[in-house]
Structure 1
Amino acid sequence: MNKVLLIGLLAVSLLTSEGCRRQRVLRGAPTSAGADTSRIATAPASTSSTASTTAVASTPTGTSSTTGSVRSEPPRPRPGIEEARANVAEIDFKYLTAKSKFSLKSKDESNENASMNLRVRKDSLIWFSVQKLGIEAARGIATRDSIIILDKINGEYSVFDFPTLSRQFNFDLNFDLLQALIVGNLPLPKRPAQKIKNERDYLLLRQSEGKVLVENYIGEDDRKLKKLMVTEQPTKNTLRLDYADFKALNSFVFPYTSLITLDYKSDADGQFYQKLLQIRHNKVELVDKNPGFPFSIPANYKKSKQ
């Protein structure tokens, strides 16, 4: 169960973030979050990892000049590509809260209309709680070091450190990456030079990390991220995210409905299988007041075998 919740958390991180894009950069310099505390009984050893990107230079824009008494004018940015870059600006926040419904379907399982509460304290904590039929089934927290998940149905807890997760997912995972995904940055750090090209009705931005290729499809007209394709090159496992129901969130645009389609090859029988995860956000807020991050591991809980 905890592995399913972990995959859900990572997926929700991608979903929550990728469509959250600025239409205009209205805020000033970021402000640091106020100090507060949460209670965590188990503290794994600190680890850190750094994401990297593969970037290629974009095609330079042309310049124009005139002679005589007429002043030369500066080059105008290329429409589309420059605007798409502006739409992925980072946001300034202290706390983020979200209330959502999600459904998970696969060959062996089906969970309908479970509820999730998500809370983030900038640069330090990501907290979530999952409810089913009005009962809290799981609670989890991500710190700078690791992710801890409580299975409240079976009285167990699991600890996942980021280096181990990076090896399992073939992707460099760390707290800063998860936070960036949630608050609205691209999955990989962005460099000044990026290869962005027109792809039918989209602007396509390709990024890579190790053996993983990430393709971001941005709407050509409204500059909103419409879908995301993540492909693991050796296995051809793919994760597709489709976004819909865009609504205003402060000075941002946020997709309140998202669909994940995961196609993966089983290590057990070598066959390909599919999982579907739909997220419907009921409420998302950027707030200044601490929403609380209650978390502790009960003494009678056993550590699950992973």
Structure 2
Amino acid sequence: MSKYFLGWVCIVVLLTSEGCGRRKMFRNAPPPPVRSDTVSVQPSVRPDSVAAAPMPSVDPNATVDQVDFAYLTAKSKVSFKSKEQDINNANVNLRIDKDSLIWLSVSGVGVEVARALITQDSVVIMDRIHREYSVYDYASLSQRFNFNLNFGLIQSLLIGNLPLPQEPAQRVKNEKDFLLLRQQEGKVLIDNYIGEENRKLKKLLVVEQPTKNSLTLDYEDFTVLNNFLFPYTSLVTVDYKSKNDGQPYQTVLRIRHNKVELTDKNPGFPFSIPPKYQRRP
């Protein structure tokens, strides 16, 4: 597999607190009331639903609109389903120091069960339930999953930016209701589906050859945030064939942000491992 798969596999690992160690840290949360499963922020503008003056046509060679910020904070609900685990609406607090740190706190039934810190060099996961922690560098993670990973990839996928920089030679072409930017690195083909009017990445399709393992990422509920369009909902679907039994499986991850802020003020990134915590191999 490739680093594009690992980016979201790693996010699944962090957000669900199940992962490289394969240990469940909390049981399935009960289904929430209907209101808690919807985005509570009322945007000032919804480009998909508010009538507005026609926008000028987009040059197919124009760059894709990217979210820029100093710091980002978000309160979110995460649901995750795989052959091993089914979690409904776990609470996740997310903080990002652009190009430097990603901080996550995962809680279930009002109790923090995990905290994670992703830096340019490493991924650290602290298990509050079992009083353990794990430290991974990108080289070891890449070796474990047999493909590469970097900080920029995880950050881009979380905020809805292109997973790969757009190169001058890469042309955008019209594809039905989207603009299609096709990229390829090694055996991995990446199709970026971009909105014609707002030039935002709306759908990402990653297919690995020759296994045909695929990752589909759909961004929805775009909201105006500090003059940027930000996706408040992300749906990730990974279809793959197991190396162990050769059977096809699917993993689904949904992130619904209740509140997102782009700010110049440092929100703090508290992360301290208690002395009694044991490091997990």
Give the structure-2-normalised TM-score. 0.76
* Residue 111 (structure 2) pairs with residue 135 (structure 1): yes
The alpha-carbon deviation at position 101 of structure 1 amounts to 0.2
Question: CA offsets per residue over residues 7-52 of structure 1, 9 Å max, x none?
Answer: 426899xxxxxxxxxx9xxxxxxxxxxxxxxxxxxxxxxxxxxxxx
CA spacing shift, 1:183–1:290, aligned 2, 3 Å:
same
C-alpha deviations, 1:41-64, integer Å up to 9, x for none? xxxxxxxxxxxxxxxxxxxxxxxx
CA 1:218–1:135: 2 relative to 1, 3 Å: same
Aligned residues with identical type, % of pairs: 60
Counterpart for residue 148 of structure 1: 124
> Paired residue for 1:79?
58
Look up the match of 2:65.
Answer: 88
Q: Distance in 1 between matches of 2:224 and 2:148?
A: 31
Larger radius of gyration: 1
Report whether the alignment pairs 1:203 with 2:179.
yes
- The aligned residue for residue 165 of structure 2 is 189
Match of 1:235 in 2: 211
User: How far apart, CA to CA, are the structure 1 residues paired with 2:57 and 2:148?
Assistant: 33
User: Do 1:218 and 1:224's aligned partners in 2 also have CA atoms closer than 8 Å?
Assistant: yes
Q: Does 1:272 align with 2:251?
A: no
Is the CA contact 2:160–2:231 (under 8 Å) kept in the aligned structure 1? no
1:184-232 residue CA offsets vs partner (Å, 9 max, x unmatched): 5311122112132222221111122333221111123443322111122
In the alignment of these two chains, the number of paired residues is 236
TM-score by length of 1: 0.70
1:168 Cα shift? Answer: 4.3
Letter in 2 for 1:6: C
Instruction: Give the 5 Å matches for 1:7-26.
Output: 7-8=11-12
Letter of the 1:202 partner, please give it. Answer: F
Tell me the SS of whatever aligns to 2:246: coil
Compared CA separation, residues 207 and 11, structure 1 to 2 (3 A): farther
Task: Give the Cα–Cα distance (whole angstroms) in 2 for the partners of residues 231 and 5 of structure 1.
Answer: 15
Q: Which one of the candidate residues 102, 111, 122 is aligned to 2:78? A: 102
C-alpha separation in 2, matches of 1:296 and 1:206: 42
Instruction: Give me the CA root mean square deviation.
Output: 2.6
Match of 2:222 among 241, 246, 263: 246
Closer, same or farther: CA 249–190 of 1 in aligned 2, 3 Å = same
> Could you say if the C-alpha distance between residues 258 and 187 of structure 1 is closer, same or farther in structure 2, counting changes exceeding 3 Å?
same
Q: Gaps (5+ residues) in structure 1? A: 13-22, 24-76
CA distance in 2, matches of 1:213, 1:168: 22
What is the aligned partner in structure 1 of residue 238 from structure 2? 262
Runs of at least 5 residues in structure 2 that lack an aligned partner in the other structure: 1-7, 17-46, 48-55
Tell me, yes or no, if the aligned pair for 1:80 and 1:220 is still in contact at 8 Å: no
